[in-house]
Amino acid sequence: MKRSLIDITDLNTDELEELIRTATDIIEDPKKYAHACDGLKLATMFFEPSTRTRMSFEAAMYELGGHVISTASADSSSAAKGESVADTARTVSCYADIIAMRHPKEGAAYVAAVNATVPVINAGDGGHSHPTQTLADLLTIRREKGRLGNLTVGLCGDLKFGRTVHSLINALARCEGNHFYLISPPELKVPSYVKKAALKSRAIPYIQTEDMLEFMPELDILYMTRIQRERFAEPDEYERLKDSYILTPAKLETAKSDLAILHPLPRVNEISVAIDDDPRACYFKQVLYGKYMRMALILKLLKEAETDKGVARKVDFSGPEYIHGEHVCRNPRCITATEQELPRIFRREADGTIRCVYCEGRTEE
């Protein structure tokens, strides 16, 4: 497996800083990078709807001088004929130097990375993670607040299925002095595996609340999210929860004057358009920053791939922490739920929890 980006924790904090530095340099002097990827190809494989992520990857590659090839949609690729993610990844590796993939199943990007011979970037895997949105979020926070640490961060909306939230918590939890207000209906709380890995393991302070107004005066960042309709098993439950939070100018009355309001977009109704002209609204800048961070990431991964060209290291699952074939992942959204032939591999964590290597689901989930 080539160096890929599947989870935001695949990058250490020095590397996150390095990407922010590169992106900043690109913003200041784009000409310097205009031929950095001459002759190279990015494949975008999006098996779920996307506007920003896909187009920003494509724009990023073009602005680096490279080319883009892509599958038009899940329906028009061989996935519709029943091809596995592993086979598709092996195939596309023959055509492209780097792959960006979005898939509705959790763990799909990891399966692609394990089987591809080129770097794979996870552009969103089900309700699991979305590391390149986090790169956009981090550059936005750095440019708006001047720092990534010592921030009071409110995350609001669908924190259960909102994959951008999971990745952002995993990134900001590694920056000194941050604390979190997790604002959601009880049904849509941050999954326990995210809280455990990112927050509890580091004793990072966080409060879970349903009330979006109570802590508003304290917030430096307010990260709004859409209720993720497509991930609900029961349409009625979505109908009941869909209007849980709607940010209006009146709700910002007690907020700091230098609050930064972020949203990965698309917005449905959770931020009133009346807020768009408020100087605290950063969500459209966030879109632009996403392109620069994706440029920085493509450059980094292609450079690292060059050093061991043609050699895709086999992922070693032979260590004592791995358990083969004994368990079944209970997460119905896991890639193993649809791809029966994938080897069932679980990892035993330090606290004894056994998790699926693909989706991080527990055996009993």
Residues found near ligand NCD in the complex (CB under 6 A): 52-53, 124, 130, 133, 163-164, 226, 228, 264-266
Catalytic option among 9, 41, 52, 231: 52
Closest approach, Cβ 268 to ligand NCD, in A, equals: 8
Q: Is 54 a residue of the active site?
A: no
Closest approach, Cβ 133 to ligand NCD, in A, equals: 5
Closest approach, Cβ 194 to ligand NCD, in A, equals: 14
d(CA 274, CA 144): 21
d(CA 92, CA 99): 8
DSSP category for residue 350: T
Catalytic option among 53, 88, 152, 336: 53
Closest approach, Cβ 164 to ligand NCD, in A, equals: 5
Q: Residue 331 is encoded by which pair of tokens?
A: 């997460």
Q: Is 285 a residue of the active site?
A: no
- Give me the helix-helix angle, 13-28 and 131-145, nearest 10°: 70
Q: Residue 213 is encoded by which pair of tokens?
A: 């107004």
d(CA 182, CA 185): 10
Closest approach, Cβ 235 to ligand NCD, in A, equals: 17
Q: Is 53 a residue of the active site?
A: yes
Output 298 or 305, the one with its CB closest to ligand NCD.
Answer: 298
β-sheet bridge partners, residue 5: 121
Q: How do strand 120-125 and strand 98-103 relate by DSSP bridges? A: parallel
Catalytic option among 81, 202, 313, 314: 81
Output 53 or 84, the one with its CB closest to ligand NCD.
Answer: 53
Q: Is 202 a residue of the active site?
A: no
The torsion defined by the Cα of 182, 186, 187 and 191, in degrees rounded to 10, comes to 40
Output 208 or 228, the one with its CB closest to ligand NCD.
Answer: 228
Q: Is 140 a residue of the active site?
A: no
The torsion defined by the Cα of 144, 148, 154 and 157, in degrees rounded to 10, comes to 80
Catalytic option among 2, 54, 103, 130: 130
Backbone angles phi, psi at 255, to 5 degrees: -75, 160
What residues act catalytically?
A: 52-53, 81, 102, 130
